[in-house]
Structure 1
Amino acid sequence: MTRTLYLFCSAAPPLFDVARVVEEAQARGWDVCLGLTPSAAEWVAGGIEGLAALTGHPVRSRYRRPGEPDLWPVPDAVLFAPATFNSVNALALGITDSFVVGVAAEAMGKGTPMAVMPCVNTALDRHPQFEQSLATLHNAGVRVLYGENGFHPNPPGEDHVPDFPWQLALDAADALATPSPY
């Protein structure tokens, strides 16, 4: 049985691994629908058609217009990774001005299993709103993959995140969509 994963990405350096991550998710039995923040869509603009061919679905970065069909199947799980400081805070505060944040916020309300793996630097990690946003998401039932249980923040100014734990993110997605034996 194929499971549907909404993979949402913000504009952070691990985004450049997204094709490999989609392929790995597909090897795990996921039908992947890829959603990007507007900035992330700009970062990979030259590869959007290839990513759409890889997933078999349109890559989305904007809300559909009234009357447009929704071409994605209903998700079994949502994985938001990498999630930037802005995306984490927007999701926690319910600020849905971007497609992926809006769909993720709605998925929370529907009870769709979700994991979020932030990708921030140590300076943003120390901002007081960030900790509150992570707690808000956790308390809303979102699996937050951060710190000891996920991504460790990197120093400011690094354009490369060599150890982004994509495997952990995909493992979390698998666990979210696996029915409990109890």
Structure 2
Amino acid sequence: MTTKSLYLLCSAAPPVFDVAAVIEDAQARGWDVCLGLTPTAAHWLAGSLDGLAALTGHAVRWQYRMPGEPDLWPAPDALLYAPATFNTVNAWALGLTDRLTVGLAAEALGNGTPSTAVACANSALAAHPQYEISLATLRGAGVRLLQHDNSPAEVPAPFPWTAALDSLDQSAVQI
């Protein structure tokens, strides 16, 4: 099985706590996973960062490297941004790259890297007028978008990790 390089980028939303299992699932599908986190997601997972780096075989990144430092990650064959919060979706669509993960996602679009995202916002934020504009912008740029309602619920809907990885597998056929 040929290994393909996947940038798995995660924002701070509760599904980020499942990332180790998602990495293992992606690896079982033949992906070499590089994990990037927003600074808040890195804070949430601070106690697991060394273990996640060992699991992926790559440094977990949440900030830009210094000028002149080598990039230790391979170039991506595909990108999965999940969960992609309200802030992330809007920043990515607008090209606001002050966070590493959004910068990597923006570069992926510019490079034509197959990209999938799972938008994860509660119903109040999803009702904001900019959100649908941003989703449409990302769709128009070729991002495969899945949705997850992050509103509080007695029985929350499961996060669509499997569907997201399936989407990557479909795009990998074209790689």
Q: Same fold (TM over 0.5)?
A: yes
> Which residue of 2 is the match for residue 119 of structure 1?
120
Instruction: Quickly say closer, same or farther: Cα 1:161–1:99, change in 2 above 3 A.
Output: farther
Deviation at 1:144, TM superposition (A): 1.0
- The corresponding residue for 2:30 is 29
Query: 1:91–1:105: 8 Å Cα contact kept in structure 2?
Result: yes
* Match of residue 38 from structure 1: 39
CA distance in 1, matches of 2:102, 2:11: 10
Greater percentage in strand? 2
1:175 aligned residue: 170
Unaligned runs of 5+ in 1: none
Letter in structure 1 aligned against 2:25? E
State the SS of the aligned residue for 2:27: helix
Q: CA deviation at 1:173?
A: 1.1
Deviations, residues 62-114 of structure 1 (Å, cap 9, x unaligned): 11111111000011100000000000000000000000000110110111110
SS in 1 for 2:121: coil
Give the paired residue count: 174
Q: Distance in 1 between matches of 2:120 and 2:154?
A: 12
Q: Give 1:162 deviation, angstroms.
A: 4.8
Closer, same or farther in 2 for the Cα pair 1:25/1:122, shift >3 Å? same
- Number of the residue aligned with 1:53: 54
C-alpha distance 160-111 of structure 1, shift in aligned 2 (>3 A): farther
Match for 1:92: what amino acid?
A
AA of the residue aligned to 2:32: D
> SS state of the match for residue 7, structure 2?
strand
Residues of 2 paired with 1:21 and 1:162: CA distance?
17
The answer for the alignment partner of 1:87 in structure 2 is 88
TM-score, structure 2 normalization? 0.95
Alpha carbons 1:33, 1:55 under 8 Å: kept: yes
TM-score in terms of structure 1 length:
0.92
1:164 matches 2:155:
no
Residues 13, 160 of structure 1: 8 Å contact kept: no
**Displacement after TM superposition at 1:161 (Å):** 4.7
Matched, 1:103 2:98: no
For residues 59 and 82 of structure 1, what CA distance do their matches in structure 2 show?
A: 16
Q: Does 1:131 align with 2:132?
A: yes
Matches of 1:135 and 1:163, distance apart in 2: 24
Identity percentage over the alignment? Answer: 63
Unaligned runs of 5+ in 2: none
RMSD: 1.5
